[in-house]
Structure 1
């Protein structure tokens, strides 16, 4: 009798789903994944175009060595699975692997695949019969590793892909024990405990996102003209999708379903949609549903903080602001933030936390749904309590921004003897905070206005005034002060409204919008007159005169300023008298009344000295210097400038000193050596003040003075430094001007 051994069970070692037809803008990420999957032994086929063997690549100092486990993590809808499949097919097609195993773990679904279930599927694919698969999960894992080891002993390598994992525990038992194989994971959570190569996947670059839209349209219909004719509309649509691949694919599908709709029309609809999340749904895929799966697993306190962060008025938050919003200690908040970052629901960069545009919209909806659910089920006022709690948390955040701005702005005072809060160590730290929070601070004004918090909407623009003028952010000042004007008017706060209109006039004048500035000043003058506040009316008139002067009407400005001087002398406000005297000097200079210009400037400087205000004394002395120069008295002009420098040094502020020194360099009758001396002193003061923009201008000024004196080599040295500093600051126009001067010297 002949005994026949049973035939081996069939295996399924080619189970990777199809690779995506297109993968726009992911070349670098594909390279990162392939470098991790690459075997240690030499391969005859390499999907890279470099021609290097895998072994050579693995030992190159520029290429990281291969690893057993690679984890691709990122936001829902960012294209993790597509990247894994593209890399997997490239690697198997290159002959790096003899086969593949694939499982979708559905880690974020209501019923995720358990490790035992995944192991059973893998064992079946490896040819193990059902009756031979152990019941216990640990025994299944041991058999699985043994089977993989046997394959490795036969010289066979497998690529194992676990898609959609939600935790390290879900995949840990699936890891092969033999390093001949490779294990590739996709997940919405960063998994740092698996000793894996971590590939973090972000949204697409704008150009790649637009290309993806075009390619998808052309794949569906090569003759579709919209891919070519869309122009900038396709860039706008990509931006509205937040450059998120899922949203881009859905938008492309919506266009495919409506062949006669233009890209621009779809972009307009999406921009106007009450909810972009609701709009981005093609019947099979939806961005909101994808985000739902990510948030479903959040603990209640994590979900609460996630939705609260959408209340932030700007694009990102510091830890202190998040702690204030949550009303929890910073260590506890940091732990939650770390978990939200791990889940790719928020991002962290430079110790600041932010959300993708669509995620922020989702978090906002989550907060609203919480409020609505509480309201629907409210008994005994529970729903109102929940809504009140959200309102309190929102106000707490806006109050934090307002009070911190007050503390920071106190450091901008030019009077060194004034007490300042100890929230910030010094001016540099205060300015750094204001610069970092600028979008949040200006956004807080609009947020306060929109939520009926009139006191903050009126107060915060006043608090922001010094900082925005200091930095020259007049457009921001115009925006927040316009809001303050409207809200103060609605509240019937006439004094606040008058002050806001006056500040708006200053901002508009700073932005060279003179006609609008004059209208704003007129409204302020009218309101102050109705309040019978002659002093403040005089200040607004002074501003109106300055706007007339700056718009090229010095004769009209002179009449206004003379009227203001009479008002302030009657009121007895010496500081305002000094300010208007300085403005009168400028008017007289324009009208070539040089004797009057010199006298009024000297009187202004004397008054400021009497008031103990060396900063404005220095400014008035500079005004006097230019009046003296115009009257043909260059020695007296230079003497006035020297007095201005001495006054500025009495302030104890290197920034004020630098500004005065830079002003002094503009005198016409200075020799190049005198100019260079002023510029070098200004450069030293700029270094001390950390005023990099002014420092760059000082370097450029030294270069120009050296060029005039004939020292071209030294001029090139300073121009190079100035150009580099302007480029570092992002001041491309100024960098270009210096570059032109350099080019002229080097030809």
Structure 2
């Protein structure tokens, strides 16, 4: 059953307006009690919205908190479909409106799996590859185009006599606008803000454009003539403000960003004038505006052709990058592991810093892409490096991949090896968190190569730690041990004691995995004492959990349980949910080893719930398999089978072959146990 419709046509044909009108009418008729969702795919921008970003926007619209949105496209798609299924069961059908798709592949991941829902897509391209009803929207009929002009003028002034007095010129104006709704609306705005101007004067000005027919061929060029007229009618101050909106980073431009770009307080009612002329559109969030992609392209071309405007544009970018970098640095200080003793600068505390980062996120990320421009490379790279903690905290790993790939290019263009190394390191973290582990190893290795050339020992210590952690996840334990030992070989002047403590913790984990438990305990005790000396409670909780793992393996179960209790208390106290979930699961493993299976199942369940809520797919798979093993030991093979299937599905989506194999093996044992009434537990995987 076809559940989607695609409205296609050239730019300015009114596709979005038609889709929104249809959505409003359908909702008013009660066809979609589950609600209407809207996402702009910006398919014809230089950077179209990727499917994973569109899924993120839809998940947020469905009420998912940013920190709980999974990092990968497949995980987001799974959560999106699950939430649509829940809404279908509880409230009824949902309509999804996906605006401005560049191609079928951009919209296909958003298609609802359940046939009860519907999707409406708009695009300038015919989406033949999309399983959807196709509706091509051409230009308006001359009579309808006339009505568009007439209605716009009548709303502004019911007594406006111009169209009635000049019917031939009105028809000519419709023709010159290509019968496109957007061009017609802008032409009407020119007349509205110039009540003394006749329709004949306007058509005469349009006719003066020497390339008029060429522009009408594709619609975009026809639009430029209307844009030229609107632009020339702006005051000098309004025109500059218009350019600043178009050239700001990101699709959504805030009042703060626009003020910094403008270089002074915004002129009174300046943006209002642009809104009235339909040159910018207000967003739902007060003090935020959006500009149509054709208008943005129009301004970019205009600036590129004028050296004076180009200089003004470059100066605006310089101001904006300076302000963004300063604020991002202040915000970063509030997000670091060590507490900030006093409020710093513009932010009263951590929550205020996060609020600013969340509100300006799209602009911040877009601004970092200016790193490829020589005149802005240094400031853009500096901004990128200030965003690392935030992007990690909010799990915006796809943003981080974009940010640090551009930062690497910018740092290379300047020959800045320190910044290049830091950018490779941050890229590696994002790659590891998205389970691209081999790529992460390559990134950390490149970071170390850059650091080696500039003797950046402290930064090298962090990169060695990240490399060691990734190698542990790849189960390359001997290499991980060597990576962590490299940190210990750095001199005190090159490695912060906390960096060494983190290395000792990682080394202890790698040694535990290798079965070298006495060495592991020695390393972990050193890490625990250092974390306490430096007051890093997150590291302390992590180390104590790892000590508990060693004690469980040596059979010291009571001590291990106490360790995990202490770690859990620390993580709960500092509000660290991932650590809290890990502590619950580790407690479950100890309780199962004690034979306290029912309590162990409860602890596994708490861990699974938290990992699900914060979007940690990989850890969900690990816990699901651990829970399955506990259920097998209780003889509940059918329940265990369901958990191993869950782990298998997640691991397959993540491309994690080790955990795919582990899940398949445990699933086979569970099925065999169910068939034979056995209590086998697949111990070789424990």
TM-score (normalizing by structure 2) = 0.57
* Compared CA separation, residues 279 and 634, structure 1 to 2 (3 A): farther
What 5-or-longer segments of structure 1 have no aligned partner? 1-21, 34-77, 89-100, 125-160, 165-185, 195-274, 373-382, 716-730, 732-747
- How many correspondences in the alignment? 480
SS in 1 for 2:217: coil
Alignment of 1:467-486 (within 5 A): 467-486=390-409
1:366 alignment partner in structure 2: 302
Indicate if the aligned counterparts of 2:260 and 2:323 stay in contact, CA closer than 8 A.
yes
**Contact kept? 1:105, 1:114, Cα under 8 Å:** no
The structure-2 alpha-carbon separation of the partners of 1:510 and 1:297, relative to structure 1 and needing over 3 Å to count, comes to same
1:391 aligned residue (284, 309, 314): 314
Match of 2:551 in 1: 628
8 Å Cα contact 1:504/1:517 also seen in 2: yes
Distance 1:189 1:353, change over 3 A: farther
Superposition deviation, residue 31 in structure 1: 11
Q: Distance in 1 between matches of 2:537 and 2:214?
A: 60
> What SS is found at the alignment partner of 2:387?
helix
Q: Is 1:466 equivalent to 2:389 in the alignment?
A: yes
Query: 3-state DSSP class of the match of 2:289?
Result: strand
Counterpart contact for 2:551–2:560, Cα < 8 Å: yes
For residues 349-360 of structure 1, the aligned pairs below 5 Å read 349-351=283-285, 352-360=288-296
Residue 404 to residue 581, structure 1, CA distance change in 2 (3 Å): same
Per the TM alignment, residue 583 of structure 1 is displaced from its structure 2 partner at its CA by: 0.9
In structure 2, relative to structure 1, the CA distance for the partners of 1:340 and 1:494 (3 Å cut) is same
Alignment deviations for residues 211-254 of structure 1 (CA, whole Å, 9 cap, x no partner)? xxxxxxxxxxxxxxxxxxxxxxxxxxxxxxxxxxxxxxxxxxxx
User: Hey, what does 1:487 align to over in structure 2?
Assistant: 410
Query: Residues of 2 paired with 1:312 and 1:437: CA distance?
Result: 12
Deviation at 1:466, TM superposition (A): 0.8
**Matches for 1:441-520 after TM superposition, within 5 Å:** 441-520=364-443
Match status 1:427 vs 2:344: no
Deviation of 1:590 (Å): 1.8
* Residues in 2 aligned to 1:590 and 1:32: alpha-carbon distance in whole angstroms: 58
2: CA distance, partners of 1:628 / 1:343: 71
Cα root mean square deviation, aligned: 5.3
**Structure 1: distance between partners of 2:302 and 2:436:** 42
Matches within 5 A, 1:268-667: 281-282=217-218, 286-329=222-265, 332=267, 335-351=269-285, 352-369=288-305, 371-372=306-307, 383=308, 387-567=310-490, 573-648=496-571, 652-653=574-575, 658=580, 661=583, 664=586, 667=589
Structure 2 alignment gaps of length 5 or more: 1-12, 26-135, 175-183, 193-210, 640-652, 654-686
Q: CA separation in 1, counterparts of 2:515 and 2:423?
A: 35
d(CA) in 2 for partners of 1:24, 1:445: 32
Contact 1:568/1:577 (8 A) holds in 2? no
- Over 3 Å counting, the alpha-carbon distance change for 1:666 and 1:400 in structure 2 is farther
Change (3 A) 1:441 1:669: same
Rounded to whole Å, the distance in 1 between the matches of 2:553 and 2:498 is 26
Instruction: Tell me, yes or no, if the aligned pair for 2:481 and 2:510 is still in contact at 8 Å.
Output: yes
**In structure 1, distance between residues paired with 2:19 and 2:442:** 56
Deviations along 1:366-408, one digit per CA (max 9) or x if unpaired, are 3334x34xxxxxxxxxx4xx54333211211222222222232
The answer (yes or no) to whether the contact 2:565–2:587 under 8 Å persists in 1 is no
Aligned equivalents of 1:604 and 1:656: distance in 2? Answer: 20
SS at match of 1:667: helix
1:305 Cα deviation (Å)? Answer: 1.0
Offset at 1:553?
0.9
* Structure number with higher helix proportion: 2
1:317 is paired with a residue whose SS is: strand
Q: Any conservation in 2 of the 1:281–1:287 contact (CA below 8 Å)?
A: no
Q: Call closer, same or farther: CA 1:347–1:190 in 2, change over 3 Å.
A: farther
Of structures 1 and 2, the one with the larger relative CO (CA 8 A, separation 6+) is 2
The structural deviation recorded for 1:281 is 2.9
d(CA) in 2 for partners of 1:28, 1:440: 26
Provide TM-score, normalisation by structure 1.
Answer: 0.53
| Preserved CA contact (<8 Å) 1:622 1:641 | yes
Contact 2:152 2:188 (C-alpha < 8 Å) held by counterparts: no
Report the CA distance between 1:80 and its aligned residue. 12
* Matched-pair contact (CA < 8 Å) for 2:588–2:599: no
